[in-house]
Amino acid sequence: MSSDDAPRSSPGRSFWQRLGRPPQADQTVREQQQLLAWRGALSAVLVPAAEERQVLQRFCEITVQQGVADLAALLRPGPQSILQPVALSGPRAFVSDICCSPSAAISDTQGPLGRTWREGRAWYSEERPSAAAFVEWNAQVARRGLRASAILPVLRRGRIWALLLLARERQSDWASDSQMLLESTAQLLGDVLEDLAKQQLQLILGSGLRAALDSVVLTDARRRVLYVNQSFTLMTGYKEDEICHKGLKILQGPETSLADLASLDMALREGAAWSGKLLNYQRNGQTFWNQVSIVPIRNAAEELTHFLGILRDVSREHSLLGQLEYEARHDRLTGLANRRALDDELELALARVQRNRSSLTVCLIDLDSFKPINDRYGHDAGDHVLQVVARRLREGLRRTDYVARLGGDEFVILLEGYRTPKDLVQVLLKLESLVNAPILLPNGQEVAVQLSMGVCRYPEDGEVDVGRLLRYADLALYQAKANRQQRIQYWVFHHERILARQSAGG
């Protein structure tokens, strides 16, 4: 074919028409390539950033440097809820003219900024609403020599956190694919800010855990120690490298409760939280009470990855609580059990002997000649006598027997296992000999008291409850004191008292 035969271009056809595609298509491709390069540059720079303000400013600067826009601004509500730039690159004068509140109550000043904030969807200048606020916005953009604008929401935790304002001098609309890239990049910014906030929170938490007064332990799912803070070392004496090597079992010892350890082990095997108090051992062998709270940590797939333990030395609190509990159940003067503890012990003892088909003896004691000593020598002397009597009662009984002080000069003894009243005689005579012996007062004076006792026995006194046991013993004691001058022994059995009354009545 000769050159004369070659097809000639029509005078009215452009270069793009001869290629078979419009110039807008090529422009769209270039714009998308530009936006992709912008997104890549942002990802490379923003992710390692250390501060939120730095992230926001670099975002705007890179947006302008990459040619995506001639103005990039991030707007957030400031005083009086007016949107103000928190980061900006490009002509500041345009942004300074903005006076807009996202509040729906101020509808005449909304324009595209207010609508985007309220509705959470992007706005592009190719949209041509007839509302006066939108017309004014486009006119304001044009007065600044800017021909196209876009407003995109930046979300954090699913809520609008800021607006991204983009404006450029060239008159060209963003194609739908470009709009998708713009919006996804705005979302990238929100994600980066959230990740940064989490990192900063983790740093703060890490600093807090290191400086915490309570001990902190982090283990993996197999309970291997990964980290302990300084408070742990101060509490236990074990340094981090030592406890990571030996494990937390080194805190256990012969007095650590096996039942509590089993409960802890079961909870951890099930991946559950556990809280309790353990008697643990420091590096020097000294024991301490350890309040332990352990929580499991799971990843996004709900897989158990770690355990976090908060430990606190509560030895002082434990001692105080123990002291309070002891004082609530013991007589402060003599150290014997008080009425509250006696009632509980009576319930247990009666149930025990009924179950074992054994016997229970309740002895109610009153001291003769105590009041004259108290009146003559004073309350301190009286307290001394009560302390001596309490000690002698305790020394004259078996370790399994129980002694309590009801108050004043009244005491109660619980004896188990003596089958008949005759079996008790030797014990009662021993008590008489001990208690009636002279007592030397702190002032050097010597005094003496004697015993009166009422005795109730199960099962001789029939089916009884705790109240009847003490009441029957009290009735027998009353008779013992009433017949103090004529009695042969200092005790009276309730069932013998009943028999004597029946015999006298007969």
First to last CA, the chain: 158
The rounded distance, in Å, linking the Cα atoms of 477 and 494 is: 9
Closest CA to 283 of 315, 245, 237: 237
- What is the pLDDT, as a whole number, of residue 176? 82
109 near 103, Cβ under 8 Å? no
Q: Quick one: pLDDT at residue 418?
A: 86
pLDDT at position 10: 45
The answer to whether the beta carbons of residues 210 and 232 sit under 8 Å apart is no
328-to-321, 336, 338 alpha-carbon distances in Å:
10, 11, 8
- In this prediction, residue 440 carries a pLDDT of 94
As a CATH number, domain 330-505 is: 3.30.70.270
Cross-sheet strand order for the sheet of 402-407: 402-407, 410-416, 360-368, 450-458, 491-493
Q: Is 474 annotated as catalytic?
A: no
Residues 332/336/338/342 CA torsion (nearest 10 deg): 170
> Fold identical between 15-200 and 212-315?
yes
What architecture (CATH level 2) is domain 212-315?
2-Layer Sandwich (3.30)
> Would you state the pLDDT for residue 211?
57
In this structure, what token pair is assigned to residue 321? 């609580």
Q: CB of 89 within 8 A of CB of 63? A: yes
Number of other residues whose CB lies within 10 A of the CB of residue 79: 6
Residues 6+ apart with CB under 8 A from 120: 153, 155, 160
Task: With CA atoms as reference, report the closest residue to 410 among 377, 365, 449.
Answer: 365
pLDDT for the residue numbered 408 = 92
**DSSP secondary structure code for residue 3 in this structure:** G
Which residues touch 225 (CB under 8 Å, ≥6 apart)?
217, 218, 219, 243, 244, 247, 248
- Domain extent listing, the chain: 15-200, 212-315, 330-505
Residues 6+ apart with CB under 8 A from 266: none
Residue 319 contacts residue 297 (beta carbons within 8 Å): no
Contact call for residues 403 and 413 (beta carbons, < 8 A): yes
pLDDT of residue 195: 81
What is the spatial distance between Cα 312 and Cα 10, in angstroms, rounded to a whole number? 91
Q: In whole angstroms, what is the distance from residue 187 CA to residue 121 CA?
A: 12
Cα–Cα distances (Å) from 487 to 376, 381, 389, in that order, read 27, 29, 22
**What is the second-level CATH architecture of the domain 15-200?**
2-Layer Sandwich (3.30)
Nearest to 109 by CA among 143, 80, 69, 87: 80
- C-beta of residue 36 within 8 angstroms of C-beta of residue 180: no
| CA atoms in the 13 A half-sphere facing the CB of 218 | 11
Tell me which residues of the chain have a pLDDT lower than 70: 1-28, 45-50, 97, 99, 102-110, 127-133, 171, 201-212, 498-506
Distance CA 441, CA 307 (A): 62
Question: Does pTM top 0.75 for this prediction?
Answer: no
Give all strands of the β-sheet with 71-77 in edge-to-edge order.
83-89, 71-77, 159-168, 148-156, 123-124
Angle at 255 between CA 263 and CA 346, to 5 degrees: 85
The tokens describing 42, both together, are 């942002």
Whether 364 and 478 have beta carbons less than 8 Å apart is answered as no
Asked if residues 363 and 447 have their Cβ atoms less than 8 Å apart, the reply is no
DSSP letters spanning 68-92: S-SEEEEEEE-GGG-EEEEEEES-H
DSSP letter assigned to residue 116: H
pLDDT of residue 225: 93
Q: How far apart are CA 334 and CA 345, in angstroms?
A: 18
Catalytic residue among 401, 409, 423, 461: 409
Q: Are the C-beta atoms of residues 125 and 148 closer than 8 Å to each other? A: yes
Cβ neighbours of 72 (radius 10 Å) = 24
Q: Which residue is it, tokens 């302990």?
A: 228
DSSP 256: S
| CA of residue 98 relative to chain centroid, distance | 48
Peptide bond into 48 cis (omega under 30): no
Residue with tokens 């005078």: 11
pLDDT at residue 497, rounded to an integer: 72
CB within 8 Å of 277: residues ≥ 6 apart = 260, 289, 290, 291, 292, 314, 318
Cα–Cα distance measured from residue 389 to residue 376, given in angstroms and rounded to the nearest whole number: 18
Q: Which two tokens stand for residue 462?
A: 């029939």
Q: Rounded distance, CA 497 to CA 506, Å?
A: 14
DSSP state of 6: S
